[in-house]
A and B are shown apart, each in its own frame.
Chain A
Amino acid sequence: MNAARVFEALGLKRRAWVHPPGRKLATAKAIEPASLPERVVLPLQQHIGSPAQAIVKSGDDVKVGQRIADPGPGFCSAAIHATVSGTVKQLPEIVNPITGSPGTAVVIESDGADAWVEFEPADPETLGPEETLTRIADAGIVGLGGAAFPTHVKLRRPPESPVHTLLVNGAECEPYITADERLMLEDADRIVRGVRILGRLLDVQRVWIGVEDNKPAAIDRMKQAVAAANLPGDVRVVAVPSQYPMGAEKTLLKAISGKEVPEGGFPTDIGVVVQNVATLAAIDDAVTLGKPLVERVVSVTGLVAEPKNVLARFGTTAAHLLDRAGGASPEADAIIFGGPMMGIAQAGLEAPIVKSTNCVLMTRADRRIERGCVRCGRCVEVCAMGLMPLMFVNHVKQGIIDGLLDYHVMSCVECGACSYGCPANIPIVSYIKLGKAELRKREAK
């Protein structure tokens, strides 16, 4: 028996995971277009990086897909397009639904005509890498899995760090959300066309499409689509265990390849580019059709009359989408953009969905009161990153901010598995976010 086997037998190697209830209420509901809103509110910050800069002013007439904001300064930003046709009403300061900070938004009053700009289609096989990247950037595509990192920035690989593998993330591990699952079931061919475009652009030898094993129909559908597409290279659909947080790119990468991304690094450091399935579908739209990113699949679920998956334009308010799902139940008192594990609570039903909003979840807020830590070690056991979350709480409470680095706080992906299982109801992730913010403040000084 070798050392690794002994380790495993002693329970030293295995790591427990959390298994939140799936509650995928809308799995069987086909994607349907949401009705057009009367007006949309488009924050200029819908991605990681600098905010986009508005190029329209109050009174301008716009068409669907017309660019209304250029990428901001610096290399990391993304363009934003009108999502309804009509007239720009105003550019107010609003609370950003993701960052919670105030920022400028563009409000467009719809004329109800839904008049689109003309697309310029292209044959992806004839485009050079620069042209492909430009089309992706021009469409304003960002990572649709939740992080909203500008896609063209991620795909622009410097020659000194080549990639060999494209990892497609179909592990929708958050409870309730079914947007990616429905997209795989209904639009697998579009996703695979996106895979072909990126495979060619990045010149990868290998494509892994990771889907959790609790979505067997999606796995089958993706396998069919891959087989029909006859893609070059080694393309595999891989069923991964249904554990939380499987959809975090570092976790998924480890589950499939056994390899870890070096601390503080990105998957590209070990030659892997990770893209969410919805992003790939958007890439196909952008490169093949020339269609900018103006809508996405959103699960409207939780405590609503009829959970649904809708194709919604960005800037649509939560209230408008909730009406499509028959309204919220009376006992619901919190509205979350994203899933229940990492999603962001909104202050009002007028909050607009943005590019990263994969779910509008009506729920009942957790009311349990925080207690003192009993050192049960559950958080240590479930941390997919191998951290000791309770140590972050201790350090932040005592104001020992430097000590956080000793425990690798920056490796935390804020998945919430620790808080989920904490018997003392400690909002561990909130303490971690606080500690990280303090560290960043110090760094800035």
Chain B
Amino acid sequence: METAKRLILSPAPHLRGRDSVERDMALVILALLFPAAGAVYFFGLYVLLMLATGVAAAVLTEVVAKRMRGRPFVMDGSAIVTGLLFVMVLPPRAPLWVVAIGAVFSIAIVKEAFGGLGCNIFNPALAGRAFVTVSFAGSLSRWIAPTTSWMADAVTTATPLGEGFAATLGQGEPYRALFLGNVGGSVGETSALLILVGGALLLAFKLIKWQVPVFYVGTVFVLSWLMGEDPVFHILAGGLMLGAFFMATDYVTTPLTTRGKIIFSVVAGVLVVLIRVLGNMPEGVAYSILVMNAFTPLIDRYVRPKVYGVAKAGRKKGVA
């Protein structure tokens, strides 16, 4: 053989698995397409405009922010995920300028200002939602009923969580409507079924741990039941399913270990019920996750795997 050949010196391991950030993000986008398609079906083509605006604003903001920070822009798909998720938690007739401003805020302030993907403390989409809620409350107060025809005029309605169980779901088959998505609500949250399909995809590709949705939703079910509420209504209504599969499972802003993830999910579930039942806001999913995002570094500090060869005695009881 040719001995003058140039050899490459690289550190071990010299063999790498096939996982990549791009692959992870592509799968999340694929999973999100199920609730997104459902939203277009239930709330009309305007939702498509919202999704396009959100994604475009998010990606453009990331390009600009990277340039301002002097870092290379890499199309890893994370900005698309943020853009999609942000639109998912908006009312289905939110003005496009609100969509754009919120997406810019999510990327520029919540994500890039903290150092970009992997460094942000809060879930960008949810923090963006909180931002537009306090900034443009008036523009976001219009909720519509699912349309029967794609281009029909929207009928203003109440959301199940806003008006309570009796007001919106007194007639017909309420649970079935909630499960399939035939109720008022945010863009991506109305159909539990489509979220479960997307979530199953994430589980199948091992992108998320089953413990997160199970403990989050399970805690809401049990606690709302204990507090005398209708537990089935509480797990199907609002953004709980969307949050459980797509937001409480975010790599960056939730704990690293399975134990930590379970703690995160249970406490977030408690917060959801407390906010919904005792607080003065109709919905608590976004805030429950944002609050727990803030506790994530603390959880990771104290909830660690058992190190080989180190006795368990030093561990605090109850941290499991």
Interface residues of A (CB under 8 A from B): 7, 10-12, 18, 20-21, 175, 250, 254, 260-265, 319, 322-323, 327-328, 333-336, 338, 340-349, 361, 363, 365-366, 368, 371-378, 380, 383-388, 390, 407-408, 411, 414, 416, 419-425, 427, 429-430, 433
Contacts and interface: CB of A to CB of B under 8 A. Distances in A.
B23 A423 contact: yes
B308 A263 contact: yes
Given A260-B308, A371-B76, A411-B307, A366 B10 contact: yes
A346 B19 contact: no
A199 B17 CA distance: 41
Interface in B251-265: 251-252, 256-259, 262
Contacts of A373: 118
B12 A416 contact: yes
Contacts of B209: 11
Nearest to B9: A345
B24 A423 contact: yes
A262 B309 contact: yes
Interface in B228-262: 251-252, 256-259, 262
Contact of B259 (A12, A18, A372, A422): A12
A260 B309 CA distance: 5
A371 B21 contact: yes
A367 B20 CA distance: 13
A119 B242 CA distance: 76
Given A11-B209, A12-B320, A345-B9, A365 B14 contact: yes
Contacts of B316: none
B211 A347 contact: no
Interface string B277-320: 00000000000000000000000000011111110000000001
Contact of A363 (B14, B24, B257, B305): B14
Given A11-B209, A390-B256, A333 B23 contact: no
For chain B, the bracket of interface size reads 35 or more
Contacts of B116: 372
A327 B211 CA distance: 51
Contacts of B117: 372, 374
A376 B14 contact: no
26 contacts: A10-B211, A12-B259, A260-B308, A263-B310, A265-B309, A319-B3, A323-B1, A333-B5, A333-B8, A334-B9, A341-B13, A343-B12, A347-B7, A348-B7, A365-B14, A366-B14, A368-B16, A372-B118, A372-B119, A373-B118, A385-B307, A388-B305, A408-B307, A419-B16, A421-B17, A425-B16
A261 B252 CA distance: 33
B68 interface: no
Nearest to B214: A10
B125 to A, nearest CB: 16
B226 interface: no
A366 B8 CA distance: 9
Given A261-B308, A390-B256, 19 more contacts: A10-B262, A12-B262, A333-B7, A336-B12, A341-B12, A366-B16, A371-B76, A372-B119, A374-B24, A374-B118, A375-B118, A375-B251, A385-B308, A388-B305, A420-B15, A420-B16, A421-B19, A424-B118, A425-B20
A264 B311 CA distance: 12
B70 interface: no
A134 B280 CA distance: 82
Contacts of B8: 333-334, 345, 365
B74 A371 contact: yes
Contact of A342 (B1, B12, B119, B259): B12
A347 B9 contact: yes
B11 A427 contact: yes
B252 A375 contact: yes
Contacts of B24: 374, 376, 423
User: Nearest 3 pairs between A and B by C-beta?
Assistant: A416-B13, A365-B8, A340-B15
Nearest to A415: B13
B19 A378 contact: yes
Contacts of B310: 262-263, 386, 408, 411
Contacts of B11: 345, 427, 429-430, 433
A334 B12 contact: no
A322 B16 contact: no
Contact of A375 (B14, B78, B256): B256
B259 A376 contact: no
Contacts of A423: 19-21, 23-24
Interface in B104-144: 115-119
B10 A365 contact: yes
Contacts of B20: 368, 423, 425
Contacts of B257: 377, 380
A10 B115 CA distance: 34
B305 A380 contact: yes
A10 B13 CA distance: 32
Most buried by A among B1, B210, B305: B1
Most buried by B among A327, A373, A374, A407: A374
Contacts of B305: 380, 383, 386-388
Nearest to A333: B8
B308 A411 contact: yes
Nearest to A418: B13
Contacts of B118: 372-375, 424
